[in-house]
């Protein structure tokens, strides 16, 4: 068998799952056929007591179903049949008269977890790399191989909905605590423990414990309690999704139906809903996003990468500490974290330690893993030790003179091969590199805050940046767990450049009389995770003003109207969340509209325009600017533009990004709307020529 390597040990068939053509295992049709053939053998072979499923990969069990199978099917019926064929195999596993035990080490995602749920016993390694999840909701679908029926029956409805509706990870010790896995062992003992488990189940000495709390059992044990759970889940989901994502609603429906009608009918209903969701435009957009993210993990110039062992990070504030955090945790790099004094450095180190310690207390990592990660970072207040640095990442304040000073200082110490990267959000890298003695080794690495959570890294290259420098920076980003896009240099690069007109339009709408809460509500309804007013508070008015000044000459050259309010607000003491005084006022966890700010925007009497007009004015500013960036070669492809907008700025993921939004809406429709807005609101809405040309030629971006 091409995917299953079978070995017999102590009357147990041990199946090592190993897809020879891929780095990770995925459930594909060939593998499922081989499972079916093996089950025939298991049932007919009297010398076998049972079977163990284990991975032949080092740190991966099964990363999920092969998404290519799903993508190749277009109609709801075709996608439903895919689900039903998976059900047939997993039902056979569940109904096998001989015990089948799964041994999990590494990632066990989607179809991999659903396969595990069909087995009679689950043993897992206690290693931090062992992570389980049902992430299908992130693809706009639901678990289609029994996940909506088996998981609730195993760990309870409330816990199941929490994980199926969010797709979030379940770490090994969490999984054991809730009863998702039956046994935790060291990864090196996993195989033998699983073989013993087969004999234990075969002998009838294993009895699974219901680990739900007495309150959970009481609420979930009657129809009224379940009804309340499903009702509350719907309310919470709608508050988060605003109805833009159909999958969460159908997930709740699938679980509810299964409890009402029984598991057999529940599985059939799951397959039907899986097919319907898989054919929606939202799911297709999210699947395309998944493939774009996967493609972005592949370095286009793998052969040019030079080894990076030690990184120097300048600035131990929020960004610097965040970059250090992902570098020691995911990248396993050695870090020198420098700030102006040891007290400042210590604050950054303490934040990193607190995050590590929190993970160890939650049993996500061991205390040994925590201590090893922490040992990779050294705080310094001088350039001592930078003689052996391979990469410097500067994360200081957005001031060109300061960055020039730092480049001059650091280049006196660092080796000739060292790359200098700036984590600037708007200053052109070409300007930063002007004082460098080796401008070909200067590059932009723009991280997003909070670094530990935001998935994007925007790499900015100049005309002088060497290809090996780009390839090496790309490799560092991937190892830090980031999705990487490479863009060409220019004011604001890509993400900040398309964000600036979006935020400017919000301020202009505020000047016209719209209220703070209305603008935030409108864009959250449109699908953004955060409204523009709340975002401005998070970014800070001072940073917003600086970015606006950097970008103003370019936008003014196109006849755009820029709001001049940012500096006026700063002068009046409004900085945003950092001083508790912005569009909102902050007192502890309390956040209220700061009505005082309206004195700068025409007074307290507010008059909100039509919501759809507001949504289109703001979204189209970002979309049109993305098209300008593609036209001018700032981004290299629509795919990069969509990734950058979604992962860096929260552009609604269910649309697929600005360019897929244009294709779905119709280029002609977008151009007509921009022309209309240009006449009504000013030349800043003039459509990029690339849009006009595509409308004329009736062509798409994809």
Catalytic one among 458, 505, 511, 625?
Answer: 458
Closest residue by Cα to residue 420 from 302, 312, 304: 312
Give the helix/strand (H/E) hosting 324. helix 318-329
Contact status, residue 148 vs residue 141, Cβ threshold 8 Å:
no
Q: What is the dihedral of CA 265, 267, 269, 272, to 10 degrees?
A: -140
Q: Cα–chain-centroid distance for residue 398?
A: 27
Measured from the Cβ of residue 299, the count of other Cβ atoms closer than 10 Å reads: 17
Rounded-to-integer distance, Cα 201 and Cα 191, Å: 16
Nearest to 495 by CA among 540, 450, 445, 453: 445
- Cα separation, 105 vs 117, in Å, equals 15
Q: What are phi and psi of 3, to 5 degrees?
A: -105, -15
Could you give the angle at the alpha carbon of 413 between the alpha carbons of 411 and 419, nearest 5°? 50
Query: Helices 76-95 and 29-44: crossing angle, nearest 10°?
Result: 30
CB atoms within 10 A of CB 117: 25
Angle, helix 367-375 to helix 318-329, in steps of 10 degrees: 120
CA distance 253 to 276: 13
Helix (H) or strand (E) holding 7: strand 4-9
Cα 287 versus chain centre, distance: 13
- Integer Cα distance of 616 and 636 in angstroms: 26
Cβ–Cβ < 8 Å for 174, 363: yes
Spacing of C-alpha 477 from chain mean position: 14
Strand partners, 93: none
Helices (H), 180-316: 190-202, 214-220, 223-241, 247-261, 263-278, 281-296
**Cβ distance 698 to 677 under 8 Å?**
no
d(CA 565, CA 355): 38
H/E stretch holding 333: none
Token duo for residue 121: 């016993």
Does residue 505 carry a catalytic annotation?
no
Task: Spell out the residues 6+ positions from residue 646 whose beta carbon is closer than 8 angstroms to its own.
Answer: 289, 652, 653, 657
CB atoms within 10 A of CB 689: 11
Strand stretches in 18-112, DSSP E: 50-55, 60-62, 100-104, 107-109
Strand 183-185 and strand 121-125: the pairing is: parallel
- Identify how many contiguous H helices and E strands the chain contains and give both numbers: 29, 20
> What are the residue numbers of the active site?
458
């Amino acid at each position: 068998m091409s995917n299953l390597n079978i070995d017999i040990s102590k009357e147990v068939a041990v199946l090592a799952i190993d897809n020879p053509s891929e780095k990770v295992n995925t459930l594909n049709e060939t593998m499922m056929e081989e499972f079916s053939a093996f089950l025939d053998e298991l049932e007919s072979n009297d010398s076998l007591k049972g079977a163990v499923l284990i991975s032949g990969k080092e740190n991966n069990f099964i990363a999920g179903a092969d998404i290519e199978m799903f993508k190749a099917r277009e109609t709801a019926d075709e996608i439903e049949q895919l689900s039903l064929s998976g059900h047939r195999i997993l039902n056979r596993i569940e109904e096998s008269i001989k015990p089948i035990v799964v041994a999990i080490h590494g990632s066990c995602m989607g179809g991999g977890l659903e396969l595990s749920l069909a087995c009679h016993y689950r043993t897992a390694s206690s290693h931090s790399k062992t992570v389980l999840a049902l992430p299908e909701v992130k693809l706009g679908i639901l678990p289609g191989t029994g996940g909506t029926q088996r998981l609730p029956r195993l760990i309870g409805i409330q816990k199941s909905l929490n994980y199926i509706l969010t797709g979030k990870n379940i770490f090994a010790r969490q999984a054991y605590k809730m009863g998702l896995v039956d046994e935790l062992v060291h990864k090196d003992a996993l195989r033998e423990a699983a073989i013993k488990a087969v004999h234990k189940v075969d002998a009838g000495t294993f009895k699974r414990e219901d680990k739900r709390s007495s309150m959970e059992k009481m609420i979930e044990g009657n129809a009224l309690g379940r009804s309340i759970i499903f009702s509350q889940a719907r309310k919470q989901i709608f508050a988060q999704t605003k109805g833009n994502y159909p999958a969460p609603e159908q997930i709740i429906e699938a679980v509810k139906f299964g409890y009402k009608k029984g598991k057999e009918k529940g599985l059939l209903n799951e397959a039907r809903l899986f097919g319907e969701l898989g054919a929606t435009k939202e799911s297709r957009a999210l699947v395309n996003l998944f493939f774009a993210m996967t493609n972005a993990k592949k370095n286009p110039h793998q052969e040019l990468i030079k080894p990076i062992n030690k990184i120097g990070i300048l600035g131990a504030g929020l960004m610097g500490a965040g970059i250090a955090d992902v570098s020691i945790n995911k990248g396993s790099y050695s870090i020198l974290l420098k700030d102006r004094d040891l007290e400042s450095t210590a604050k950054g180190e303490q934040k990193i330690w607190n995050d590590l310690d929190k993970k160890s207390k939650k049993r996500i990592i061991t205390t040994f893993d925590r201590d090893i990660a922490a040992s990779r970072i050294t705080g310094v207040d001088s350039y001592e030790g930078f003689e052996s640095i391979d990469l410097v990442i500067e994360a200081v304040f957005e001031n060109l003179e300061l960055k020039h000073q730092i480049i001059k200082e650091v280049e006196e110490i660092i080796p000739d091969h060292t790359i200098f990267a700036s984590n600037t959000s708007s200053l052109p890298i070409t300007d930063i590199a002007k004082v460098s003695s080796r401008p070909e080794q200067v590059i932009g690495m723009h991280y997003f805050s909070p670094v530990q959570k935001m998935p994007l890294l925007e790499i900015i290259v100049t005309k002088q940046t060497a290809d090996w420098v780009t390839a090496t920076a790309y490799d560092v980003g991937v190892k830090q767990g980031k999705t990487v896009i490479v863009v060409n240099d220019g004011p604001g690069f890509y993400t900040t450049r398309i964000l600036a007109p979006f935020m400017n339009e919000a301020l202009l709408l505020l000047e016209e009389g719209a209220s703070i809460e209305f603008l935030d509500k409108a864009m959250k309804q449109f699908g953004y995770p955060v409204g523009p007013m709340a975002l401005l508070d998070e970014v800070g008015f001072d940073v917003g003003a600086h970015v606006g000044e950097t970008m103003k000459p370019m936008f003014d050259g196109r006849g755009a109207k820029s709001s001049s309010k940012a500096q006026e607000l700063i002068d009046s003491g409004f900085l945003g969340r950092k001083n508790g005084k912005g569009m909102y006022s902050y007192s502890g966890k309390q956040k209220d509209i700061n009505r005082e700010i309206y004195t700068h925007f025409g007074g307290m009497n507010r008059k909100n325009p039509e919501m759809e007009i507001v949504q289109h004015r703001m979204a189209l500013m970002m979309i049109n600017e993305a098209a300008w960036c593609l036209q001018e070669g700032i981004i290299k492809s629509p795919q990069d533009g969509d990734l950058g907008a979604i992962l860096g700025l929260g552009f609604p993921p269910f649309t697929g990004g600005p360019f897929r939004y244009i294709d779905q809406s119709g280029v002609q429709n977008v151009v007509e709307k921009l022309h209309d807005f240009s006449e009504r609101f000013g030349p800043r809405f003039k459509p990029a020529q690339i849009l006009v040309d595509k409308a004329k030629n009736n062509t798409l971006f994809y």
